[in-house]
A and B are shown apart, each in its own frame.
Chain A
Amino acid sequence: MNAQLAAALAAEEAAIYAYGILGVRLTARGERTEARAAEAAHRARRDVLVTKLAALRASTAPAPAGYALPFEVTDRASALKLAIRVEDGVAQAWRAVLPVTEGGDRSTALSGLTDAAVRAARWRRLGAVTPATLAWPGRP
């Protein structure tokens, strides 16, 4: 379970970093508000994971100071593309936690997966990406 939780933590850290970069490239006020809310949600999940991993006494790699973005974010279109990319990555990481957890921990993982899938759909819709939904969110 620790490996999957550590991977979820890495995905959340990457999402927090990405939203810091992409938020300023969004043009509509509603989109920027949305990005801030998403970043706050990822920070909350990150904190839950840090606490959980500490309780399990699992060592995790420290979060890198910077991440290599998969592509340059220069405008609204590339900002939306990155938002979709990071949410899909977060969904994948949480989905992998489901089979190795039970009870409350599995519920947490399901919320992580579901919220990321909902946000990815919202960004796809804003970016006019079709289809806006995936049949299997989080499936690699």
Chain B
Amino acid sequence: MKRRQLLGTAAGVSALAGCGLFDDDPEPPPAPDALQPLLDEAVALAAAYDRAAVAEPRLAARLTPLADDHRAHAAELAKVIGAALPSTAPSAPPGPAYSLKSLRKAEQVAQKTAAAACRKAPAARAALTGSIAAARAAHAEVLR
């Protein structure tokens, strides 16, 4: 009986040693902020509107305010997360030109991301994410 207890203790000590003291594994990278997907979407949507406005100049007056909304969201999200905002390209970055229909679809997908984030957010972030979800829904509405 005594012998078994002793063995047990020894096993416990070696297990302890394995979990940290002599471990030189690098720290795992911090998990991305829960709002990072919202920031990525805001940046991507702003760029998509810019491309569409360049491809179809007659739509520019309609699409530019929507792009500006997304840029405002991206700036505020970056501030809250403490992330660097990707520098905005002076002209429309390369990529596929979007139709109004595909932009509307993208807004609807992004609205779902923001709504899910709002439902799970701590109180301090609930209004921010809620407004972003509502803005994306309103964008989809005016693209009808």
Which residues of A are interface residues toward B (Cβ below 8 A)?
A: 91, 95-96, 98-101, 103, 106-107, 109-110, 113-114, 116-118, 120-122, 125, 130-139
Contact = CB atoms under 8 A, between A and B. Distances in A.
Interface size class of B (residues with CB under 8 A): 20 to 34
What DSSP secondary structure best describes chain A's contact surface? helix
Given A95-B127, A110-B130, A136 B135 contact: yes
**Interface of chain B: mostly helix, strand, loop or mixed:** helix
Contact of B137 (A95, A96, A100, A117): A117
A106 B63 CA distance: 31
16 contacts: A91-B134, A95-B130, A95-B131, A95-B134, A98-B118, A106-B118, A110-B115, A110-B118, A110-B134, A113-B133, A114-B134, A117-B138, A121-B138, A135-B69, A135-B135, A138-B134
A103 B21 CA distance: 41
Nearest to B132: A136
Contact of A113 (B119, B123, B130): B130
A133 B115 CA distance: 18
A121 B142 contact: yes
Contacts of B124: 99
A114 B137 contact: yes
A137 B142 contact: no
B118 A138 contact: no
A49 B133 CA distance: 22
B66 interface: yes
Given A113-B131, A133-B142, A139-B131, 7 more contacts: A95-B134, A100-B123, A107-B119, A109-B130, A110-B119, A120-B138, A138-B127
Given A95-B131, A98-B127, A113-B131, A134 B138 contact: yes
